[in-house]
Amino acid sequence: MAIKVCKFGGTSMADGNVIKSVKNIIDGDMDRRFIIVSAPGKRYSGDIKVTDLLYDSYNALVSGGDFKKAFAAVKSRYVSIVKELNLDFDIDSVLEETEERIIKERSEDFTASRGEYLCARIVAGVLNAKFIDAENVIFFDENGALNGEKSYKAVAEAVKDAPRAVFPGFYGRGADGKVKTFSRGGSDISGAIVARAVHASMYENWTDVSGFLACDPRIVDSPRRIKSISYKELRELSYMGANVLHSESIFPVRRANIPINIKNTFRPGDEGTLILPTSRYTPCGNIVTGVAGKKNFTVIFIEKSLMNSEVGFIADVLNVLKKEGVPVEHIPSGIDTMSLVVESECLQGEKLNRVIEEIKQSVEPDVVRVIENIALIATVGHGMSSSVGTSSRLFSAIAAANINVKMIDQGSSEINIIVGVSNNDYEKCIKAIYREFFV
Ligand code: ASP
């Protein structure tokens, strides 16, 4: 039998009524056997997520504030959820135990993790399914990274003989034996770990949108929905700012070739977006799958005659950045020129001047120039490598919009062309590219 692993995000857990629809979704497909939940999210705009209420509670606890009052806001969310669900579940005792343990542990991660813990206990009750505490099956190593092999084994063992089980997302156990969380939004990663551990045929990620859009809807009105996308394309796009899914969550499932389906709890009939391993992916007919970008990069342009024949030139330049702890996004280069594209926030204060001085000393370039306020825009699609004239269309569209391109980088994966334009031209450029390839 095929196994589907379903992760439900915060808005799908926001109140008792939404949790009822989640139950219907799960009951509607016998393959939906393993469920991962986030903490209850916002019920309306302006509401506060339970995880944020928990961070506030922790801060009150350690800074001598009114912890009881802060935690009362958390309690009331769960009490009303259980009431709305009409569930026979002693939430008051569970909340009391939780409060005592938070005070005893005095740990930020432990406190934050209780949002998912409490939610999973309730959902397990609603579904009449086994509750599996992430603390006992998801493990981190001494460096704080996921211990994948140990976790996959423990999850597989825990679900043995369980027709259905519910896991809290977002946390596991650190090498020191204490509860440790992933970064924010990390329940996506928990879901991916469970999917990999149980050899799922599909990892369904239930959110409040019907999948990914081909570009930012704040820039283009009602952009087209992406029906299917490869892992590789998604990586290029999510890195540039399209973030529905936690960017680390794709790695466990990608390695195991498990597809991800982004679905909408509030419109379960919508197809959503299917994220597929490249080997199983056939482009949907469009040359370009999506366009995404990010503002505020700095370009350090370096020129030196015969740079190409100077052994170790690029290494010496990169060593300067390594020493200063500055990550480099892209390195477009020519025969006597190279550029370093860096997120501006990594070069704040005196750092930029220091980097420039050290580059001058280290490689004695003819010219070093700094160009600031650059936006990068990635146009991504598997179809691009096989169709002649894509870049000419891209650049003609940008030129027709009267935008000056300051940098070009065609990723060696050939599914991605990145252009650098002035921050001021960012929105205009995305619109021009979208119009060219989608309208
Ligand atoms: N509840 C956590 C957060 O708000 C984790 C998650 O939702 O995935 O970041």
pLDDT of residue 288: 94
Q: pLDDT band at 249, cuts 50/70/90? A: confident
Backbone angles phi, psi at 297, to 5 degrees: -115, 160
Residue 243 has pLDDT above 70, yes or no: no
Residue whose CB lies within 8 A of the most ligand 1 atoms, among 8, 13, 49, 57, for a mutation test: 49
Residue 32 has pLDDT above 70, yes or no: yes
Q: How far is the CA of 89 from the centre of ligand 1 (A)?
A: 24
Q: Cα-Cα-Cα-Cα dihedral of 98, 103, 108, 112, to 10°? A: 20
Residue whose CB lies within 8 A of the most ligand 1 atoms, among 187, 244, 247, 249, for a mutation test: 187
Tell me the pTM.
Answer: 0.87
Strand ranges, E, within 80-196: 130-131, 165-168, 171-173, 179-181
Q: How far is the CA of 114 from the centre of ligand 1 (A)?
A: 11
Residue nearest to atom 5 of ligand 1 (CA): 185
Tokens of 240: 């540039």
Counting atoms of ligand 1 from 1, which one is nearest the CA of 169?
8
Region of 404 on the Ramachandran plot (φ > 0 left; ψ -120 to 50 alpha; else beta):
beta
Q: At a CB cut-off of 8 Å and minimum separation 6, what does 229 contact?
A: 212, 237, 273, 274, 275, 276, 281, 289, 290
Tokens of 289: 């799958």
Secondary structure of residue 158 in the 3-state scheme: helix
Counting atoms of ligand 1 from 1, which one is nearest the CA of 52?
4
Counting atoms of ligand 1 from 1, which one is nearest the CA of 188?
8
Q: How far is the CA of 189 from the centre of ligand 1 (A)?
A: 10
Q: Pocket residues for ligand 1 (CB within 6 Å)?
A: 10, 38-39, 49, 51, 115, 169-170, 184-187
Counting atoms of ligand 1 from 1, which one is nearest the CA of 10?
7
Tokens of 90: 């002693």
Segment 203-220 shows an average pLDDT of 93
Give the integer Cα–Cα distance in Å for 121 and 407: 52
Counting atoms of ligand 1 from 1, which one is nearest the CA of 38?
7
For the stretch 49-103, pLDDT in tens is 999 999 999 999 999 999 999 999 999 999 999 999 999 999 999 999 999 999 9
Q: What is the mean pLDDT of the chain?
A: 94
Q: How far is the CA of 181 from the centre of ligand 1 (A)?
A: 9
CB burial class (10 A; 0-12, 13-18, 19+) of residue 317? buried
Q: How far is the CA of 328 from the centre of ligand 1 (A)?
A: 28
Scored b (16 or more CB within 10 A) or e, 175-186 reads eeeebbbbeebb
Q: How far is the CA of 110 from the centre of ligand 1 (A)?
A: 13
Give the integer Cα–Cα distance in Å for 61 and 104: 11
pLDDT of residue 241: 65
Asked if 87 and 122 touch (Cβ cutoff 8 Å), the reply is yes
Q: How far is the CA of 191 from the centre of ligand 1 (A)?
A: 12
179-181 and 202-207: which strand pairing?
unpaired
For the stretch 405-424, pLDDT in tens is 998 888 666 788 999 999 99
State the DSSP code for 280. Answer: G
**What is the residue whose two structure tokens read 């309690």?**
75
